[in-house]
Amino acid sequence: MSKGIAENSENYQPGLSIDCVIFGFHDNQLKVLLIKTPYEDKWSLPGGFVPLDQDIDTAAVTVLNDRTGIEGIFLRQFATFGRVKRNDKHFEEVVLEHFKIPEKARKWFTQRFVTIGYYALVDFLKAIPQKETSGESIEWIDHKEVPELILDHKEILDKALQTLRIELNLMPIGYNLLPEKFTMPELQKLYETILDKKLDRRNFLRKINNIGILNKLEEKKSNVAHKAPNLYVFDKEKYDEVLKNGLNQGW
Amino acid sequence: MSKGIAENSENYQPGLSIDCVIFGFHDNQLKVLLIKTPYEDKWSLPGGFVPLDQDIDTAAVTVLNDRTGIEGIFLRQFATFGRVKRNDKHFEEVVLEHFKIPEKARKWFTQRFVTIGYYALVDFLKAIPQKETSGESIEWIDHKEVPELILDHKEILDKALQTLRIELNLMPIGYNLLPEKFTMPELQKLYETILDKKLDRRNFLRKINNIGILNKLEEKKSNVAHKAPNLYVFDKEKYDEVLKNGLNQGW
């Protein structure tokens, strides 16, 4: 990415980047897709720049598709980060050096950058992390075990998680994070993992049923030792309706 | 503003602006502070640019202070707007012409701009709309009677209002919009105006009291014809606590 831009920096919006916090749910963990480049010890969020002829939302979708190999993902802009000191001279030098950025493009890379944060919820089993170069690593990492990140990426990640927690009160969640068929304990576990707290089983059942977005299936979960739990699917039409109009009628 | 930048455009973040949706409450109307420049028939949101040595949040505070004359206002970033076609050649030409922008700064003004939206809640009686030039108008306009706006400013305004409505479910509101002492019907009217719907009096009373942020005063409202209603103030400490932790414990 950086190499392509070095030769065509005039085709990109100056001083603006995109960073994506991509969440997946697996093994009862909320995981985040992170990248380790060969030129930095710290990890980073997947990101990119904005071509002059592309909407910012499209640029974010591009990052997501490029990094997960899947399309049509739940993706939301959540905040823009623009403190002056988020920029880091040391990091700039490392990038210039590694990509052998030519003189004419150096000014572009070393200008002040403001970054727009997006978060995505993806199906862990369908998303296949894609490297951009052979020297880099891209991995799903439990959000509780995130290593040190470059620049203000930890702040961006924390803000995404905070937004996701707030939005649990405003919208249904799970369609993009769970397999098509799931049990009630699996759905509850998803909520507990995101909120980082235990929920009362009966209360959860009552609240989630009140939303009216679940269909209980006739079949039950197989391959379980004890009493087989019921399987559910989301009623996609009702789910999308609640997603659009908001969960909480509140006042 | 534009004139100053014409001579110092290299000191500003390129292709990035700030737009502020400033709400005030008066006469049972939710009003928005809008500007009519001498060089455009349409109205616009108050906005500005980002000096290279200023955080984006600081640049937004500057716009707000400059335009209302008050400080320490509730101000939140809510979204960034970056569609390619939000830029408008006609508008650019009008600005270049009006401000007699010199050749060297034309490229800066005619580049693609992405804008960060902030919304503010201010005390209508304390905010004194400030003109920047003698030829412009700046007025409080009922949000239901907003005239045609430049660029995508209507979309930005709509998104701010939508955000405010959603955030009524997440945080207390009113401290910045009502006078220090207010009646329960006044508070209810504020909610009804923002949500654009009638609320049940008893339900509202129960819900608002449950939040635990109101203190009922001994004194009653004077100068009223019939039975004098009770006066209330916000318990600022509890109010700030709920603002910080969120209203809705939800799950």
Structure ipTM: 0.91
- pLDDT of B225 reads 64
Domain locations in chain B?
2-167, 184-245
Reported as type and span, the H/E element at residue B76 is strand B74-81
Which residues in chain A land under pLDDT 50?
none
Ranking B111-120, B127-136, B138-147 by mean pLDDT, the lowest is B127-136
Mean pLDDT of chain B: 90
* Residue B65 contacts A where some CB pair is shorter than 8 Å: no
DSSP per residue over A84-147, as a string?
GGG--HHHHHHHHHHTT--HHHHHHHHS--EEEEEEEEE-TTT-----SSTT-EEEEEEGGG--
Give B69-84 pLDDT, tens digit per residue. Answer: 988 778 999 999 999 9
- pLDDT of B170 reads 82
* Residue B204 contacts A where some CB pair is shorter than 8 Å: yes
- Going by pLDDT thresholds of 50, 70 and 90, the confidence category of residue B2 is low
Question: Would you say the C-alpha torsion B189, B195, B196, B202 has a positive or negative sign?
Answer: negative
Q: Which residues of B touch A161 (CB under 8 A)?
A: none
* Residue B28 contacts A where some CB pair is shorter than 8 Å: no
What does DSSP say about strands A137-142 and A114-122: parallel, antiparallel, or unpaired? unpaired
Q: Tell me the average pLDDT across B98-126.
A: 91
Superfamily of domain B2-167: Nucleoside Triphosphate Pyrophosphohydrolase (3.90.79.10)
In this model, does residue B4 exceed pLDDT 90? no
Domain A184-245 has CATH 1.20.1300.10: no
Q: Answer whether A66's CB lies under 8 Å from A22's CB.
A: no
- Going by pLDDT thresholds of 50, 70 and 90, the confidence category of residue B54 is very high
- pLDDT of A249 reads 58
Q: Which residues of A touch B251 (CB under 8 A)?
A: 168-169, 191, 195, 199, 204, 207
